[in-house]
Amino acid sequence: MTTATGTRDIVRRLGTAARAAEVSTEQREQWRAEHLAVPGTSHIHFDPLPSDDDVADQLARRVAQDPTDARLHVARVNHHVVRDEPDRLFAALVDAFFAFGDTGVGLRTRLLNGARRQIGQERAALLEPAVTHGLKPSSSLPVVPGSMLSRGVTGVTNIVRPPNSAVLQ
């Protein structure tokens, strides 16, 4: 009985190179970026500047420099989704929620839904009420390490009341 060799052969012949190793690291990273990113956003790419800095740090700095650039926010969220970094992913989501105010409901919804599994239900519950209108500087949100736009305000931020407002007794 003669058998032909196929692509599903498990046995490796001596002296021949393994075919699985032919997939380059670059091709693997491209596949990860396209298939593991938040659905509907994998076409948005970021070109890092030539530097010794980590891509995540570059993205964070560029978000701080230009908080209204939606492409940077999406690229930052996707970067942390692909790298499976829940803490940094949550910080990137918080920045995206701060950046657009009342606009960007669809983008916030898509980013939160795409990252919900990685950040966990507790963190997702913190952002859920802000999907429609975003986060404001006065929004009560604990300190988020890695966030470029959050000030980490907790409690009530209205210290001074207008003279005609009702006073709590």
**Confidence grade of residue 8 (pLDDT, cut at 50, 70, 90):** very low
Is 75 within a domain?
A: yes
153 falls within a domain: no
62 occurs within a structural domain: yes
| Per-residue pLDDT, 40 | 65
Q: Would residue 152 count as lying in a domain?
A: no
- Residue-averaged pLDDT of the chain: 78
Write the CA distances from 87 to 30, 140, 144, 148, integer angstroms. Answer: 23, 19, 9, 13
Structurally, how many domains does the chain consist of?
A: 1
Residue 21 within any structural domain of the chain? no
- Within-domain flag for 20: no
Structural domain of residue 119, as residue ranges?
55-144
Give yes or no for residue 29 having a pLDDT over 80. no
User: For position 7, what pLDDT does the model report?
Assistant: 47
Residue 99 covered by a domain? yes
Residues 6 or more apart whose Cβ sits within 8 Å of residue 66: 72
| pLDDT, tens digit, 9 for 90 and up, residues 70-103 | 889 999 998 899 899 999 999 999 999 999 888 8
**pLDDT digit string (tens) for 43-53?**
666 677 787 88
Main-chain dihedrals φ then ψ at residue 154, nearest 5 degrees? -125, 150
Residue 82: inside a domain? yes
Residue 166: pLDDT band with limits 50, 70, 90: low
Structure pTM? 0.69
Given this model, what pLDDT does residue 100 score? 86
pLDDT of residue 9: 43
